[in-house]
Structure 1
Amino acid sequence: MNPPSDRFVKGMATRRAVLGDAHVDRAEANKTDFDAPFQAMITETAWGDVWSRPDWNKRERSMVTIALLAALGHHEELAMHVRATANTGATPEDMREAMLHVAIYAGVPAANTAIKIVKKTLDEMRDAQAPRGGE
């Protein structure tokens, strides 16, 4: 087995910074021989190349990613990247503006569905942060 490339190491650090250790640890634990090459490719290219570039910050990349996922109807990935905003600094207001762009450039039905997913995911994030009674 070869040592990981510099691009993979950088990608894993960026992936953890954006998605969080818990998410990445779960994904790594669920990795199989079948999807390991895909996971390595995504870590190197998406996270090690694109997300690690210096010209945009994580907030800007987060908003563009959310808009693209919404426009393309990739709902599971959309929810994952909404959760990642806790680490990227993209705000609910940023996501609202992104959804308006989706409505104009990708269509109202795509934005309508995405808005429902964003709202549900933000509610789940708030509920997870809410103090529990009696603790």
Structure 2
Amino acid sequence: MSEAKPESERHAQGMQTRRSVLGDAYVNGAEAQKTAFDGPFQELIVEAAWGHVWSRPQWTPRMRSIVTIALLAALGHDDEVAMHVRATANTGATREDITEALLHVAIYAGVPAANHAIKLVKRTFAEMEAGREAGDA
């Protein structure tokens, strides 16, 4: 049986950034579902994506959010697009920012990719609005 290794500074920073972008509820859910199988992958994304890239001070979370949504839309990663659209509530990226990002996707990655992403983003916005309304009740 192996002992759990101590958390690195990079991992701690990555987890803090991940929580600030995606929210505690999302991160807690992901952590609760982590298994021995995907644990190494989860460590990788926390340290590399969140600790190395998203934690860099050169760009704001808003800027990183816009670029991330554009890249994920261009690559057709639907679940990740929706997750990062929801995260705009924490990053400050606006609907107008996302519109502009998806226009870039249309020109540089193709109209079908942008068209698909626009449908997905509209559905995600509707879900977010429904969640806010349900929370207000």
- Structure 2 length as normaliser, TM-score? 0.95
Q: Deviations over 1:85-104 (max 9, x none)?
A: 00000011100000000000
Q: Deviations over 1:53-102 (max 9, x none)?
A: 01000000000000000000001100000000000000111000000000
Give the equivalent residue in structure 1 for 2:53. 50
Q: Count how many residue pairs are aligned between Structure 1 and Structure 2.
A: 134
Q: Distance in 2 between matches of 1:132 and 1:44?
A: 33
Give the equivalent residue in structure 2 for 1:102. 105
**1:130 is paired with a residue of what secondary structure?**
helix
Q: Distance in 1 between matches of 2:125 and 2:5?
A: 40
6, 16, 27: which one pairs with 2:9?
Answer: 6
Instruction: Calculate percent identity across the aligned residue pairs.
Output: 66
Alpha-carbon spacing, 1:38–1:109, altered in 2? closer, same or farther (3 Å): same
Q: Distance in 1 between matches of 2:7 and 2:35?
A: 17
Structure 1 regions of 5+ residues with no counterpart? none
92, 95, 105: which one pairs with 1:92?
Answer: 95
Alpha-carbon spacing, 1:131–1:76, altered in 2? closer, same or farther (3 Å): closer
Q: Distance in 1 between matches of 2:32 and 2:60?
A: 29
Query: Per-residue deviation at 1:131?
Result: 5.4
- Structure 1 length as normaliser, TM-score? 0.96
Give the equivalent residue in structure 2 for 1:38. 41
**1:34 is paired with a residue of what secondary structure?**
coil
Q: Distance in 2 between matches of 1:77 and 1:9?
A: 22
Q: Distance in 2 between matches of 1:58 and 1:117?
A: 22
Give the equivalent residue in structure 2 for 1:125. 128
Query: Per-residue deviation at 1:132?
Result: 6.6
CA RMSD of aligned residues (A): 1.2
